[in-house]
Amino acid sequence: MAFNFRSIIFIILVGVAAFLILITSTLQISTAIKFIIAIIILMIDILAFSTRYYLYLLGPLFRMKGGAIVLDNDDPFTMASSGTSIITRSEDDVYASTFVKIPIYRSSTEMNDQEKLDFSRLFGRVLTLSKTPIKIATQMYMVNKDEYINKIKTKLNEAEGRYNDALAKRVENPTALDRAKGEVTMWRNLSDSISETKSQTLVSFGMVTAIGGNEEEAVSLSNQQAEELASGISSILGVTAYLIKGEELALFVEPDARIPLSTISERMKTRTEGM
């Protein structure tokens, strides 16, 4: 089995300590020098065992530059080539996590006591679908409406252009002026309502993780477990659960996807202007 970096450092330091012990036991040197070498050996041994078990703490201290500590230069995760799983690595093992979207169309606030009890029982059956650990959760994230708002603003600008043209010809065609004015009012009202509406939404999901010796094995096992979970959820809850793929996976692992910076900035701007 291949040695990792910590094991190599540990072996080197232990080897140096053993070499010094061999020197002090074979050469005729004074007691004072032997004492100094013994202290050095002790320090090397302490450093060896520290790097063996606590290198992840000592490493950032040695790599500290300008007050910034780099914990790891590697990416915390990558997306599988199939676009269905998130890949993480730990030494020689590969972990693949696959997400299943669970559409839930009713809130508990819309249910009576009996319906809440029935739903809890159904959800309890969902938790028993897999023999391996699974994660079932509901997450709130912010919808990035900037692209949609920009389209509305473009339509509004076009409508205002037509209104200005109709205004210049109002004597010739008063009906066109009224129609253009109504179109401008419609797009302006839509723009205002979309900008003021809260952009949060909820998504319920299940997550399964499988371990493999390589990426293909881990992804295959994870997808198989996720397909079984999705099938069971669909049967029990009467919804169409499905595997989450592609860019949608970022909602569950990327903070920037859950809270789009541009949307937050627009909200802060709106609130500041309203003060």
Longest dimension (CA), the chain: 117
CA atoms 78, 81, 85, 89: torsion sign: negative
Residues 249 and 106 sit within 8 Å (Cβ to Cβ): no
Please tell me the predicted confidence (pLDDT) of residue 58: 62
β-strand partners of 210: 96
pLDDT score recorded for residue 144:
67
Joined tokens for residue 251: 């909602």
226 contacts 208 by C-beta, under 8 angstroms = yes
Tokens of 242: 């499905």
User: Is the Cβ–Cβ distance between 256 and 141 less than 8 Å?
Assistant: no
| CA–CA distances in Å: residue 257 to residues 98, 116, 142, 229, 247 | 18, 32, 8, 25, 9
Burial class for 273, CB neighbours closer than 10 Å (0-12, 13-18, 19+): exposed
> Taking the chain (275 residues) in consecutive chunks of 10 residues, what is each chunk's mean pLDDT?
64 82 79 83 80 66 56 67 83 87 80 85 83 83 72 86 82 75 84 70 85 88 90 87 83 65 50 47
Query: What's the CA gap between 248 and 187, in Å, rounded?
Result: 30
Domain ranges of the chain: 5-62, 78-144+199-274, 146-196
29, two tokens:
């040197």
pTM of the complete model: 0.51
DSSP run (H or E) holding 210? strand 200-212
**131 contacts 229 by C-beta, under 8 angstroms:** no
Burial class (CB in 10 A: 0-12, 13-18, 19+), 245: middle
What single-letter DSSP state applies at residue 232? H
What are the structure tokens assigned to 176, written together? 């066109």
Q: Degrees (nearest 5) of the Cα angle 61, 67, 70? A: 50
